[in-house]
A and B are shown apart, each in its own frame.
Chain A
Amino acid sequence: MESTHDLGDEVLVSLCQQGQADCFEVLVRRYMEKAFHIAYNFTRNTETAKDISQDAFLRAYTNIKRFDGRSSFYTWFYRIVVNLCLDHARRSGRVMWESLDKTAGESGGQRQLVDTQYQPDQQAIAGEATRRANATLESMPNKQRTAFLLRNQQGLPIADIAKVMKTTEGTVRVYLHRAVAALRHSLVEFV
């Protein structure tokens, strides 16, 4: 007999809708890392990202009967996560980003935007470049940032981003280009 872990999203959702609540556990296991990472990309805070992504699962669970299958489960679910992230950003006034130095420090400086292996002055430049790039991301309009984060961080195809954002693929392309252009512009002195 086929394990519930091997079932596709649509089958699991259908079983949940029929009252088999334990099937939702499989969906939680399947999407918890992605949900957390999307929330982390928006909030840059581990605890907040955890709360938001868990809240997204709760909302998906309570509204599972309303899911009509016109889109895939994951685009429907990502939309819930993104909306909660944007709500959080609106409520908090601005996205609360963790210290960028701390972020870079956590991974031993590997994640700075320029190579910092050899010269201390280059490390300073790298730190400033990272700060500026992240400040640019933070100050971006929500739609540009959403398109950029879903494509660049989550690797979602533009077609799926359009479904998550309920817009056209052409609009997502424009958002993505503007986001990349803004980032490139902010880094023009450093890289």
Chain B
Amino acid sequence: MKNHGAPLEGACKSYEEDLVLYYYGESGAAERAAMQQHMSECGRCRNFVEDLGRVLPQMAPQPELPQSFWDSYFRETMAKLDAHETRQSWWSSWLAPLNGWLVPAFGTMAVAALAITLVLEKSDLVSFVYTPAPSIPVEVLVDSNQLEFFKSLEILESLGTLEKLDASKPQPKTSENNNRKPTTSVDYA
């Protein structure tokens, strides 16, 4: 074991990446020979690779688990797969009637319904968008009370007209006429 406390030396910069690959056995034959040649002459690079060989295998160790763990793991995994399969088969049996000719039929109906809905919504939308909002001043708008008022005015106006017509006619001097009383008396003021 290397003397503890000694700093982990860096390799020559131009060799460092290749030395990492060399350590992992990822160099080609030519590169491997070149690295070995360089390390025979360079103590820093040689130490660098030795340090990697000491440190890296101990990084992030794996837990040592008993066989019972793996048996349980396998059973659980298969149970999860079975549960998934059961869920899928339940759905597929439920949806089975939709297979075959029913699927295109339902599809066509759905498309038709969607198209009708869109057309209706669009026409509503068009009328909503393109119909100009009434720009009648509030003062002009009438409510139900005002409407009754205007109706009574019309009646009164027509009564006045009738009375004027009556007054302009020559009065026949008969006893019936003398006994007759005015039916309506309206004060316009």
Contacts and interface: CB of A to CB of B under 8 A. Distances in A.
B90 interface: no
A158 B60 contact: no
Contact of A149 (B20, B60, B78): B60
Interface in B43-97: 48, 51-52, 54-65, 70, 73-74, 76-78, 80-81, 84-85
B176 to A, nearest CB: 107
A164 B51 CA distance: 28
Tell me which of B6, B17, B64 has the highest count of chain A C-beta atoms within 10 A of its own C-beta.
B17
B24 interface: yes
B1 to A, nearest CB: 5
B104 to A, nearest CB: 23
Which bracket fits the contact residues of B? 35 or more
B63 A24 contact: no
Contacts of B64: 107
Contact of B84 (A61, A149, A158): A61
Interface string A141-153: 0000000010111
Given A32-B74, A191-B55, 15 more contacts: A21-B81, A21-B85, A25-B78, A41-B62, A54-B73, A54-B76, A58-B80, A111-B58, A151-B24, A153-B59, A158-B26, A173-B26, A177-B21, A181-B16, A184-B55
Interface string A114-143: 110000001001000000011001000000
25 contacts: A28-B78, A32-B70, A32-B77, A33-B70, A37-B62, A46-B63, A57-B77, A57-B80, A58-B84, A61-B84, A112-B58, A113-B59, A115-B4, A133-B55, A134-B60, A137-B59, A151-B24, A158-B24, A173-B17, A176-B20, A177-B16, A177-B17, A187-B8, A188-B8, A191-B6
Contacts of B80: 54, 57-58
Interface string A16-55: 0000010011001100110011001100101000100010
Interface in A36-83: 36-37, 40-41, 44, 46, 50, 54, 57-58, 61-62
Contact of B60 (A41, A151, A173): A41
